[in-house]
Structure 1
C-alpha cells in the first residue's frame, strides 16, 4: 500500500509522525510520502518518508485563523502560490500510483478541513485524523454549553462543531475512516452517518518520562511543583514568560514561606538568554549545584526557599513531575490536562494565545483549566484549588475523559491497515 500523509501545522506534523512510526511495523505499507502544508515539516525528519512536494515557512507560523492580519501576511508571503504547487504535487503523487490500482493508494489527512479537502481532491481513498475540532467546544456530556452572546450560540447551528461542508467531505465513499480526538465528537459524527472511530488522541502518545528521580530523597521531592508553559512561538513566548513570572510572584505571595519548585518547560526553538534575564529581574539567582536538578542538565535558580528550573530537553519529565501548571500554551496545556492535572491560565497578547483562544481552550478542557483575568490572581486561584479535593478528583477524571489514554497512534495504524488488508493488522 502507498500512503501520502498531509498535515497542516507543527503539532499536526508530530501526530502524523507518531502514526507513521506505528505503520512501519506493517509490511503492507510499501511506500510512504509526506507533505506538510504549513511550515517546513522538520518533525518528519525521523519518519523515513519521501517529501512529495514543496514546503515553505509562512510569516504567521501557521496561526492564520487567529488573526486576519496573519492571513494577509501569509498571502503576501506566497501562500496562494505555495498551495497551488502543493495541489499539483498531490495530483502527481496520485497519478504515479495508478498502475498499481487506486485501491493500493491512501491519503491520510491530519489536521482540519485544509488537508481533508486536499485529500478528497486527490481522487484517491482517504482517511482523516481530526485534531483541530472537538464537540467539547460546544457541549459536554450534559448538553450545549452556555455562551455569552447570541452569535456565539449560533456556533452550534449545524448540530456539530464540524460544519456541513466538512461533514460532506467525511461522508464521501472514498473517505474510509475518520478518527476524531475524543469519544463525544465520535458519537456526534457517527449519528450523522460518518465512519468515525474512537481510538484515542495521538497527542497523548510519546509522553513517557526519560528519567525518574527518587522524589523521597530529592531536595524538591516533597514540595509543590508548578510547571510553567510559556508556549513555543517566538516572540510571543517571551511575553508569555514574563506574565508567568508575575504569576509565580502571586503564588509565592499566597504561599508565603512554603517551599516549592517551579519547572520551566522551554521549547528548543526559544533563546534561553531572554528568559534568564527576566528571571534575574524577578529576583531569581542562578545556582551551579546540579544536585538540585530534578532532571539532569536543567538550569537551576533560587529565590528564598524556592527553586526554579529550566530545561529545553525534559518536556515529558516536567509534565509528569508537575503537580499543577501555569500555562499559556496550546498542545502542551492539553497534554498536561490529559494527565489528569490542573491548569491555571491567563490570556496573552497573541497571535496564538489571545483572550479568544484562552476562552475556547477552557471550553475544550472543561474543569481542567481555570482561566484568570490577570497573573496576579493566580496565587488565590491555586489556594482555592488545593483546598478542594472533590474538584481535584474531578480534574483527574475530566482530563482522562477528554484526552484519552496513550496508544492511539498504534490503534489508528492498525485500523488503517485492517481497512485495506482485513485480518492482517494483528
Structure 2
C-alpha cells in the first residue's frame, strides 16, 4: 500500500468520530496468527476499532486475510524470525537489511500516531510478541497494551518453586525474580501501558508483584482449534466386521519452516519405524491385533511430495482407504503392514484432537497439542528453530507433558511406559491444560482491550 492510499484511509475517518484507531505490532508468523485471533473477536464487538497492522517480521499474510491495511514496510528476513536462537542468524539478518527495516518501521509507527492525533482520533497500539513490539509501542507516544507470547514463568519455575538449572548462566533468566527482566517490566509499568496479557496464570501472578496491569485471561494459542468433524470416525473396509478395535493414533508434528521441517520429518520417520518394530511384539499395551494410525499434520507451505519420498524409502505404499475420515479430500494415505500414515494439510485441528500422543519437532503445534491434555514426545533437531536449546526450554515450559528423548529409537520405550501408567496420563492432561489455559482467551482479551484502550 502506498502513502497516498494510507492517507486516504486515514482521512476517511471524520475528526469527530469516537471510534478507536488501533495499530497492531507483531514479530513473527505465530504472533501474527495470535494477533489475528484477537482482532477477529474485536471486529465482532458492538463498537469495533478501525484496525491497522505492522508485522515487524515477515510479510503479515495473516492480516491480509482480514483485509487489514499495513502502514509500513514489511520484509522477510533470512532467519525467518529465529535470531534469538542463533547469533549467526542475527548476522545474516543485519546483512539483509534488518537495521534499515527497523528504523523505517519505527518511523512508520510514529507517523501513524501523529496522523491520528492531527485528526483528533483516539489511538492505541496492541503489541504482540516479545520486547521488540513492546519497545516500539512504548516509543510511539500512544497508549498501548501488550500480549506476551514469548515468555512464561514456567521456563524458570513451577507452582512449587524454582526449577533446578545445570549452569550458572541459566540463572540469568530469573536474576531479578521474574522471567521478565527489569527493563521489560519497566515498559509494562508505564502509565500509557493500559493492559498486559501474560500467557498463563503463574506469569500473571508474578507480574502483579510490580505495578503492572496484568490480566489473567488465557492464551489465544488455544483458540480456533475445534475440529470440523466430530465425533471421531473410524471405519473398516470389511463391512461384515462387527467391531473394530480403536487404533492407537499418533500425531506427527515436523514443524512448518522449510527446509528444517523436511529434515525433522526424516528424524520423525526413524522414530515411527522403531515404534512399528516394537508394535510387532506381544505386549499388554502394544499388541498385533491393534492397528496404528499416524497423522502427519503438514503446514500448507510444505511440499508433500518431498515428505512422500521419505515414506516410500521406508517401504510405505500409497493406499486407497483410510481407517480415519479426515475433512481433507487431498489426504495422502500410506500403509505398511497393519499401520496407516496420513498426510494432511487441511485437517490440522483433527490431527491435534484425535491424536493420543504426538511425536513432535515443532514450536506452537507442540504447545497446542499439550494444551489439549495430551503427552508429546520431542526429539531435538539441528535447528535453527527446533534445536536442543529450544527443545530443552520447551520442556521446562510444558513440564511433564513433554518428554524429551535424545534419539528417535527411544520413542517406542517412552510410549510404552506412558500407556502402562493411566495415572500419569491424567496428571499430564491436567498439567497441559493448566499451563496452556482454556479456549476463549481471544474474546476475553478483545473485550478487555476495548474497556482499557477505548
For 1:51-62, what aligned pairs fall within 5 Å after superposition?
51-62=70-81
Displacement, 1:389?
A: 1.1
CA distance in 1, matches of 2:24, 2:316: 46
Q: Secondary structure at 1:191's aligned position in 2? A: coil
* 2:310 matched residue in structure 1: 278
| 1:179 is the counterpart of 2:179 | no
Structure 2 gaps of 5+ residues are 1-19, 238-243, 281-287
Q: Secondary structure at 2:381's aligned position in 1? A: coil
CA distance in 2, matches of 1:420, 1:171: 15
* 2:146 matched residue in structure 1: 128
* 2:12 matched residue in structure 1: none
| 1:24 is the counterpart of 2:43 | yes
How well do the aligned residues superpose, as a CA RMSD in angstroms?
1.5
CA distance in 2, matches of 1:158, 1:196: 18
Of the candidates 255, 258, 263, which is equivalent to residue 239 of structure 1? 263
CA distance in 1, matches of 2:173, 2:199: 19
TM-score, length basis structure 1: 0.96
CA distance in 2, matches of 1:155, 1:67: 17
Of the candidates 413, 416, 423, which is equivalent to residue 446 of structure 2? 413
CA distance in 2, matches of 1:151, 1:216: 50
Displacement, 1:291?
A: 7.0
* 2:21 matched residue in structure 1: 2
* 2:336 matched residue in structure 1: 303
Displacement, 1:295?
A: 3.9
**Structure 1 segments (4+ residues) deviating >6 Å:** none
Q: Secondary structure at 1:373's aligned position in 2? A: coil
CA distance in 2, matches of 1:244, 1:381: 14
* 2:230 matched residue in structure 1: 212
CA distance in 1, matches of 2:235, 2:291: 15
* 1:66 matched residue in structure 2: 85
Displacement, 1:156?
A: 1.4
Mapped contact 2:127–2:137 kept (Cα < 8 A)? yes
Q: Secondary structure at 2:83's aligned position in 1? A: coil
Per-residue Cα deviation, 1:172-219 (whole angstroms, up to 9, x for no partner): 000000000000000000011211000000000011111225535457
* 2:273 matched residue in structure 1: 249
* 2:17 matched residue in structure 1: none
> Which region of structure 1 is more displaced relative to structure 2, 302-311 or 45-54?
45-54
| 1:315 is the counterpart of 2:356 | no
Answer with 1 or 2: which has the greater Rg: 2
CA distance in 1, matches of 2:275, 2:229: 27
The count of aligned residue pairs is 420
CA distance in 1, matches of 2:400, 2:231: 30
CA distance in 2, matches of 1:133, 1:16: 16
| 1:106 is the counterpart of 2:124 | yes
Mapped contact 1:213–1:294 kept (Cα < 8 A)? no
Displacement, 1:155?
A: 2.2
Per-residue Cα deviation, 1:230-281 (whole angstroms, up to 9, x for no partner): 0000000001000100111121122213411000000011111110000011
* 1:225 matched residue in structure 2: 249
Structure 1 gaps of 5+ residues are 422-426
